[in-house]
Structure 1
Amino acid sequence: MASPPTIPISSPQSEPIATPAFRAFLSRLNTTVRHGFAQRRPWWELLDRSAFSRPDSLSDAVSRIRRNFSYFRVNYISLLALSLALSLISHPFSLIILLSLLAAWLFLYSFRPSDQPLVVGGRTFSDREVLGILVVSTIVVVFLTSVGSLLISAVLVGLAVVCAHGAFRVPEDLFLDEQESNNAGFLSFIGGAATSAAAAAAPAVASRV
């Protein structure tokens, strides 16, 4: 007996959450990161053993650290990022929690269109309620779990390595333009990425205020 013909049923597919805004965010962030890494110094210059010596005093060590920060800032940020990455990879549960928290901020608040309210279990949440839940969740994750201590310890280890290198690396052979030295601080690379990310997310966030 022949089976009755099957009637095709098409289910509506949900559109990606703020795809243009999210793509703009990724594009600007990618551009900023590429520009920052273009300023990276050669690693062999960072690890030149002949350029290491013990500082004469604490003030000499601080002076070396400041000059080396200005010159090797992108390399130092890479070392800090490596320290964070190794710590998170060695603790997969903490990594999953942080990625989930970041995804919640991006897709539930920053890049969710203001005309698409969040509905969970038949209840509609306002933007203020979503923001409050995300803020409380972030505080709980960072300050009331082991994730916060893991991040702090990883940053401290990275800073210790960076400061030790900056104190013992003799900067006399480093040629840093005065303008670059004055305008580009140790966190300028991070600041540029944060500015680009904020600029990309501003339209979505401003519509909720």
Structure 2
Amino acid sequence: MAGNVAPLPTTVPPPQSATAVAASPAARAFFARLYDGARDGLSQRRPWAELADRNQLAKPESFAEATGRIRKNWTYFRVNYVILLAAVLAISLVAHPGSLIILAMLLSGWIFLYLFRSEPLVLFGRTYTDREVLGGMTLFTVIVLFLTSVGSLLISALMFGVAIICAHASFRVPEDLFLDEQEPTVGFLSFLGAPASVVATQA
């Protein structure tokens, strides 16, 4: 009789993993818009040789002239300046691995609890709305930034990067720059104000 017993199915459903999360419609919409926004932003980057042209450097004669140069150079080289600022932040974080790990964990919390979450969050038998999740994550982020060295590191790196940008922009003579009259570019992170379910719906 043992030979007539049907064998048990051996197919086991695959566990939920990061691959399944990455394959969700919300995740695909998020990364697609992130990629498109970054590509559109980088397409507006000016040649680095033009940014580093030493022949166009001259000391400003007044504070008003320096601020005028900063305004014009920022309008023209804004993508290059943002890349430089991001590079300063990246170097600062790499030089402090502890802060980098804390920031990565914080970013992971935002991604999985707010951006990629397609269903209401339920903890201890209570359902939390998107606004409550956003408020809780914002409060937790502020606490982490102020109680660890991450906040001071980010502020110091930002100030250092802004100082470099302002110094270059004030000494870079903008007479050879031809500014295009274009509409303001929408930042590629502007859609982060809504959870991933809304992003997927819009996409």
Does TM-score exceed 0.5, indicating one fold?
yes
Matched residues in 2 for 1:112 and 1:199: separation?
11
What's the TM-score once normalised by structure 1's chain length? 0.80
| Conserved 8 A contact 2:29-2:200 | no
What's the TM-score once normalised by structure 2's chain length? 0.82
CA pair 35-199 structure 1, distance change in 2 beyond 3 A: farther
Q: CA deviation at 1:196?
A: 3.8
Amino acid in structure 2 at the alignment position of 1:163: C
Match of 1:103 among 104, 108, 118: 108
CA pair 131-63 structure 1, distance change in 2 beyond 3 A: closer
**How far does the alpha carbon of each residue in 1:88-127 deviate from its partner, in whole angstroms, 9 at most, with x for none?**
1111111111111111111122321225x445xxx34532
Residue 157 of structure 1 aligns with which residue? 160
**How far does the alpha carbon of each residue in 1:185-206 deviate from its partner, in whole angstroms, 9 at most, with x for none?**
xxx4xx5212244467361799
Matched residues in 1 for 2:54 and 2:142: separation?
43
Between the two proteins, the alignment pairs up a number of residues equal to 190
**Residue segments in structure 1 that go unaligned for 5+ positions in a row:** none
| Conserved 8 A contact 1:113-1:204 | no
**What is the correspondence of 1:77-116 to structure 2 with a 5 Å cutoff?**
77-115=82-120
**What is the correspondence of 1:69-148 to structure 2 with a 5 Å cutoff?**
69-115=74-120, 117-118=121-122, 123-128=124-129, 130-148=133-151
Residue 10 of structure 1 aligns with which residue? 12
| Conserved 8 A contact 1:29-1:193 | yes
Q: CA deviation at 1:22?
A: 1.3
- RMSD between aligned alpha carbons? 2.7
CA pair 55-204 structure 1, distance change in 2 beyond 3 A: closer
| Conserved 8 A contact 1:62-1:167 | yes
